[in-house]
Structure 1
Amino acid sequence: MHGYTPEKDRYLTRLRRIEGQVRGLQKMVEDDKYCIDILTQVSAVTSALQSVALGLLEDHLGHCVAQATAEGGDVAAAKVREASEAIARLVKS
């Protein structure tokens, strides 16, 4: 079981909402809407995706990394490194 599994339905709901926002952005471009209005919506989608990412990261740390740390050894080191790399990717985006 993955760390996000108990919240899977909530994540799927949020991702479907984001998908709808992206489709709305496509329509805004098709309809030649004002640039600033489109940028505002892009910012909202970006923020929503970041929120999902932070939630998944928190779930991963609380479940997968915590479990691996309890086991110790190479498994723990690998999970911590994996989490650090994921954090680095999120910070860059």
Structure 2
Amino acid sequence: MFDKLFEAQQKAGEVKKRLDGITVSGTAEDGKITVTANGNKVIQSINIDEDFLKTADKEELEELLQVAVNKALVQAENVSQSEMAALTKDMFGGLGNMFGK
């Protein structure tokens, strides 16, 4: 039992490392704002087009930044869920054999 728990912790650590290496991004206003995050939902960078920055007002900039951040975080969540689903399937996929299936 403890072996399985230790194995699960190890595999979860491996998934976290893989997610650290996965990059996702969210954009707003046709790429005028780009937010990059990793698969663990940590924002890595924010890029704002200089010409857009010169002409945008504060409210517009805040709104579009929020859109880009949320898009990046949704992408990161999708990647994270996919990785965790693969881990769960890998770990528990053999359970069907326990019940004669």
Q: TM-score, normalised by structure 1?
A: 0.49
Q: TM-score, normalised by structure 2?
A: 0.46
Greater RCO (Cα-Cα under 8 Å, separation 6 or more): 1
Larger radius of gyration: 2
Please state which structure has a larger fraction of its residues in strand: 2
